[in-house]
Amino acid sequence: MPTPPAIETRADARHLLGMPAARFLRDYWQKRPLLIRGAFAGFRNPVAPEDLAGLACEELALSRIVIEHRSHDGGRGGARAGASRWELRNGPFAEADFAELPKTHWTLLVQDVDKWDADVAALLPHFAFLPSWRIDDVMISYAEDGGSVGAHVDQYDVFLLQGLGRRRWQISTDASASKEFRTDAELKLLREFVPTHEWVLEPGDMLYLPPGVPHHGVALGACMTYSIGMRAPSQAELLVDFAETLAERIPDSSRLGDPDLAPSRGDGEIDDAAIARVTAAMPWLLIDAGSKDEKHAGSDGGHPGKADASLLRTWFGRFITRYRSAQSAAPNPRRLSDAAFARAFEQGARVRRNPWSRSAWMREGRGARLFVAGDAHACSVGFARLVCTGPEFALADVPKAAGDRDVLRALIDAGHLALLRSSRRGNRA
C-alpha cells in the first residue's frame, strides 16, 4: 500500500510549495491539507495593522469584527470553542469602535484587500500555477491575543499565509468528523471540533486547506493572517445563473401549452399528462418525468438528474400553486386548540378555502401530495380532492385518517382554510 503524501513540507528557493506545482496539484489540491514552512522566507508585512483598521472604516470595504466572549471553564481556545459566546459586528466602522474593543480575543477581517492595496495584490503572482479566474481575493485578518473566528469549515480552497506574529492552527482530517453547526451564533461555527493536527505558524509559513476541512486558528499575541481564497460557485449558483441566461433567450410567447387537453374532473389533480407537458416545455432538462407509480430516490436533494422525476413533480406542484399569487394568507394569531378542533367536528362545522391560497394535488403511491400556496403535504386522495374542489366543504366529509386531520389543522393555522360557524355560513368559528 503506497505511503500517503506528507502533511508538512518546507519551501526552498525554487519551490514556494516545497515541491513542483504539478506534484502539489496532483497530490494535495482539493484532496488534503499541507503545511508549508518558510513559503515566503523573510516575509514583510505589506499592510500595517492601523492601515487595515483604516480600510475597515471605508464605506465600500467589506469588513467584520468577531469577538469571543469566553466562559470561565478554563478550556483552551481550540477544541472547546463551544463554551464561548461569539459576537459579530459588520462594518464600516468608526475609529471610536476600535477604542471600545476588549484587550484580547477579537479579530478584524477585511475582504478584497488586494483590490485596495497594490502591495497585497503583489502576492497573487506567486499563485500563478492556478488559473487566475479561480482566485477570488486576499482577505486579511488582524487579531489580538486569543483572537479567533471559531472552529469552522470553508467550502473553498484557501492558502493561509502568516504575516505579523504567530497563530496556532488546529485542523481535523477525520473523514467522520461532525460538520453540524451551532445554533446559538451568527457565525457558522462547528458544534464539535476535535483536532487531529496542530501547528504554530511563524511569519512566512503557509497552510493550504482544501474545501471541507474543519479548522480553528487562534492568535498567539497580536498577529495578521493573509487568506488567499479560491472560491468556486456552488452547483446551485451555476444552475440559477445558467437558467437565467436561458430565460433571456426564450420569447414570452413560448409557454406551457396543452392543446391535447382532455376534460378535467374539476378536482385539482396534476396528472401524468400534465407533468409530461411540463417536461416538454423545458427540453433543456435531463429529467424523465416518470409516472405516479414509480419509486424515486433522492427526491429531496442531490442532482436534478435523469432519474429524479419526483423532484420535477414536487417542484411543479409548489411552483404552480405560488404562480402569480398577488397576496399570501395571514396565519391565525393563535393556533387552533385541541378542544376547539374537536368541537368543530362535533358541531358539524364547514370550512372555507382562502381565495388567495391556490391549491392542487398529485398522486403519490396510494396517497396524494397536496400543494397549497407552495407548501407540500402528504395526505389521502380523498382529502386532497376535498380541499381542491369548490370554495367550501363540510368537516363531516373529511376522511378519518389521522394524517389528513393533521394537515387540515395545519392549513387552518396557516390561514389557508377557515372554520365557519355551523349555524351561519360566512362567519368564523
Q: Are residues 188 and 244 in the same domain?
A: no
Mean pLDDT of the chain: 89
**What is the CATH number for 55?**
2.60.120.650
Same domain, 371 and 271: yes
Task: Specify if 427 maps to a domain.
Answer: yes
Cα 266 to Cα 13, 80, 360: the distances in Å are 78, 60, 11
| Domain end position, chosen among 210, 230, 250 | 230
For the chain, give the percent of residues with pLDDT over 90.
73
Query: Quick one: pLDDT at residue 288?
Result: 55
Q: What is the mean pLDDT of residues 62-75?
A: 81
Asked if 16 contacts 39 with a C-beta cutoff of 8 angstroms, the reply is yes
Question: Which pLDDT score is estimated for 60?
Answer: 92
Range of the domain at 351: 234-429
Q: Are residues 286 and 393 both part of a single domain?
A: yes
| Total domains, the chain | 2
Is the confidence at residue 86, as pLDDT, over 90? yes
In a domain, 2, yes or no: no
Q: Which of 230, 252, 286 is the last residue of a domain?
A: 230
**Is residue 14 domain-shared with residue 68, that is, in the same domain?**
yes
Give the tens place of pLDDT for each residue, 198-208: 999 999 999 99
Whether residues 167 and 241 fall in one domain: no
Across residues 293-300, what is the average pLDDT?
42
Mean pLDDT (whole number) for 340-354: 94
The proportion of the chain whose per-residue pLDDT surpasses 70, expressed as a percent, equals: 90
**pLDDT band (50, 70, 90) for residue 56:** very high
- 114 burial (CB, 10 Å; 0-12 / 13-18 / 19+) is buried
Among 120-134, 297-311, 345-359, which stretch is predicted with the lowest mean pLDDT? 297-311
Query: Does 344 fall in a domain?
Result: yes
Cα atoms found within 13 Å of the Cα of residue 265, Cβ hemisphere only: 11
| Contact by Cβ (8 Å): 268, 360 | yes
Other CB atoms within 10 Å distance of the CB of residue 198: 12
The answer to whether residue 1 is domain-embedded is: no
For residues 322 and 216, membership in a common domain is answered with no
Domain boundary residue, one of 172, 196, 230: 230
Average pLDDT of span 172-191: 92
How much is the pLDDT for 347? 93
Side chain identity at residue 63, one-letter code: S
Which residues are CB-contacts of 5 (< 8 A; sequence separation ≥ 6)? Answer: 27, 28, 32
pTM over 0.85: no
- Across the range 43-62, mean pLDDT stands at 96
CATH number reported for the structural domain that contains residue 265 in this entry: 3.40.366.30
Same domain, 196 and 249: no
Question: Does one domain contain both 191 and 240?
Answer: no
Tell me, yes or no, whether 260 lies in a domain.
yes
Q: What's the pLDDT at 300?
A: 42
Q: What is the mean pLDDT of residues 301-324?
A: 76
Of 217-221, 291-295, 408-412, which range is least confident?
A: 291-295
- Choice between 375 and 235, residue whose per-residue pLDDT is larger: 375
